[in-house]
Chains A and B, each alone.
Chain A
Amino acid sequence: MKKIGKFLASRLFKSVLVLLMIALFNFFLVRAAPGDPAEILAGQSGAVDAEFIAKLRTEFGLDRPMIVQLGQYLKNVATFDLGYSYRQQAPVTSLIAEHLPATLLLTITAFIFAVAAGVSLGTQAALRVGKWGDTVITTFSMLAYATPLFWVGLMLVLLFSVKLEWLPAFGYQTVGAQFTGLAHVMDVARHLLLPALTLGMFYMAVYARLTRASILEVSQLDFVKTARAKGLSERTVITRHVLRNALLPVITYAGIQAGGLIGGSLLVETVFAWPGIGRLAFDALLQRDYSVLLGVFFIASLIVVIVNLVTDILYTVVDPRIELK
């Protein structure tokens, strides 16, 4: 128990360190950018003069020494104050909080789809190794692995929304519709389908390949050979003995992929006009709303750090053989 506590403490420390580095990186990057936020805000008013810019600069603390700004910035980040959006006139934290649920809905759905479909496809392929079914699944995952995420999205829209008119192409819910209860859930689900499929496709391919390779590897191990020797059917051997062990690397990978999913959501949310933090970041990008862009970047990193922490812990729980360092 003590060991676990120590392990947790060291992981936590590392995570905090990572976040600190990201905060530092954010701070210096924005100061390396051309133009300053005061000018951007001023530019959007349609006309501007030096006095006005200077006023804004004082108001936003941009005229204080760098080190003071840095100290203030770190203090703010530590208290989840990610700054103020000059453009949207709202605290970045609350903007992100408003957009985060949509992103979580999308990424978690995509993740569940990717793992479920990927693991079962991988298992099926492993069961039919070298046969026709394996070739189809392997080829499919090769293809999905090589396709740009945003392009998959566009092609799905072209097929399911433009050609077949089955599913809505964009957005989170039907504009202006006053659905409640189940109808509302169904409406959102219909909108969720394509983006989640798009985001999940690539990782499905990853998991299919991973599961297949992992199963093939584990099935060469001695205990599996023993099971086989006992005369159990191949299917039973795979499901009872192999799969459980083969899924361990899949869990580790899930942690690593969190970052990829979040990054992918930037593209997918842009393609599908999905109102999550990826879309928020993209809009901020167009407007060069630095505080929002970097705030989203920080929160995305934070989520990845948390997911990694959780998978690390999960891993030690699932597999007691893992030595705690």
Chain B
Amino acid sequence: MKDFLHAFCRHKGGVAGVIVIIAVAGLALAANWIFPHDPWEIVNAPFMPPMTDDTLLGTDTLGRDIGAGIAYGARLTLLLAAVSTAVSILFGVSVGAISGFYGGRVDQAVVGFIELFQTIPSFFLAVVLVAILTPSMTTVIFAIAVVSWPPLARLVRAEFMSLKNREFVQAAMLAGQSNARIILTQILPNSLSPVIVSGSLMVASAILLESALSFLGLGDPNAMTWGYIIGASRSVLRDAWWMSVFPGVAILLTVLSLNLIGEALNDALNPKLARKRTT
């Protein structure tokens, strides 16, 4: 653990990323205290530029506070991204594990399936899914999960295939342990590090996906997420630059931080692989 922390801290970007994420999470948690009113609440005149009266980041077309929107938006955006990533990790790991462990027909089918999903333009797929199943928190989470599991499944499958033949697994098999037990107690713990690394990158891409869906008007209509604020600002781009600039910066910083954390984790967890990293 100490080694890990040491290795992680050598990656300056990763440390900066952690700090930013902590700040964003703090903002999300403290939203109630900083902005006691609802983000939908009209608190000021419409179209107040930043740093006027008592609004820091300005107000939108109806007079709602952009700062409040970003703080509460952080909550929803992070939550949506985390839940959808959790769902797709659960699915991706299970599928990858079964496919890699059992091999054969199952594996062929799974690989075919993964290839199919990797061929379909994933953003298009997400849009089609949410649009047709009616936009809501659940459908957005579902759509993000559906398009983000394949790469992870592929990764886990490869891990399992190589670990399967290692001595400690073979030993467990000879000892007569059940397959489920071997998968859960022997192989899975040993293949967690790439999962953790992809996890942080998946949260980042989930945020991007969610914001793009909300931007197109495919978010939950009761949820003020960052993408929603930018989407609502589009028609008044010329009149209120602050409506689109600030939430965009919030997305950028969060996603950037998560990517940096992912890299740092990768370097810390797989020192050997660090050099081979591609995107």
Contacts and interface: CB of A to CB of B under 8 A. Distances in A.
Interface in B86-130: 112, 115-116, 118-125, 127-129
A143 B241 contact: no
Contacts of B252: 143, 146-148, 151
A260 B123 contact: yes
Contact of B132 (A33, A148, A249, A263): A33
Contact of B116 (A18, A145, A290): A18
Given A281-B127, A293-B128, A151 B118 contact: no
Nearest to B252: A147
A301 B117 CA distance: 10
A259 B122 CA distance: 7
Interface stretch (B22-30, B35-43, B62-70, B207-215): B207-215
B211 A148 contact: yes
Nearest to B126: A263
A34 B134 contact: yes
B129 A29 contact: yes
Nearest to B119: A18
A29 to B, nearest CB: 5
Interface string B125-143: 1011101111000000000
A249 B278 contact: yes
Contacts of B34: none
Nearest to A214: B278
A146 to B, nearest CB: 4
Nearest to B276: A217
Contacts of B241: 158, 162
Interface stretch (B52-60, B154-162, B173-181, B230-238): B230-238
Interface residues of A toward B: which range? 35 or more
Contacts of A123: none
Contact of B119 (A206, A214, A301): A301
Interface stretch (A53-61, A90-98, A264-272): A264-272
A150 B121 CA distance: 17
B45 interface: no
B82 interface: no
Contacts, number: 142
Contacts of A286: 217
Given A148-B248, A157-B237, A262 B121 contact: yes
Contacts of A256: 118
A209 interface: yes
A32 B256 contact: no
Contacts of B134: 34
Contact of B230 (A150, A263, A297, A301): A150
Contact of B128 (A18, A146, A297, A305): A297
A210 B124 CA distance: 25
B222 interface: no
Contacts of B278: 209-210, 213-214, 249
A42 interface: no
Tell me whether chain A's interface is mostly helix, strand or loop, or mixed: helix
B230 A162 contact: no
A295 B129 CA distance: 14
Between A32, A33, A151, A286, the greatest number of chain B beta carbons within 10 A of the residue's beta carbon is seen for: A151
A154 B13 CA distance: 27
Nearest to B230: A151
A40 to B, nearest CB: 12
A143 B254 CA distance: 11
A22 B119 CA distance: 10
A206 B279 CA distance: 7
A301 B116 CA distance: 10
B153 to A, nearest CB: 16
Interface in A269-302: 270-271, 281-282, 285-286, 288, 290, 293-294, 296-297, 300-301
Nearest to B277: A213
Nearest to B125: A297
A167 interface: no
A191 B252 CA distance: 26
A155 B216 contact: no
Contacts of A288: 131
Contacts of B122: 259-260, 263
Contacts of A18: 115-116, 119-120
B244 interface: yes
B204 interface: yes
Given A158-B237, A206-B279, A259-B119, A267 B124 contact: no
Interface of A: 14, 17-18, 21-22, 29-30, 32-34, 142-143, 145-151, 154-155, 157-158, 162, 206, 209-210, 213-214, 216-217, 249, 256, 259-260, 262-264, 266-267, 270-271, 281-282, 285-286, 288, 290, 293-294, 296-297, 300-301, 304-305, 308
- Nearest first, the 6 closest Cβ-Cβ pairs linking A and B are A263-B123, A146-B256, A151-B248, A259-B121, A146-B255, A263-B121
14 contacts: A14-B115, A33-B132, A142-B256, A148-B208, A158-B241, A162-B237, A210-B278, A266-B124, A266-B216, A271-B234, A281-B124, A288-B131, A293-B131, A301-B124
Interface of B: 13, 112, 115-116, 118-125, 127-129, 131-134, 204, 208, 211-212, 215-218, 227, 230, 233-234, 237-238, 241, 244-245, 248, 251-252, 255-256, 259-260, 275-279
Given A162-B238, A260-B123, 16 more contacts: A32-B132, A34-B134, A146-B259, A147-B251, A148-B211, A148-B230, A148-B248, A150-B230, A151-B248, A154-B230, A263-B121, A266-B124, A270-B216, A294-B128, A301-B119, A304-B119
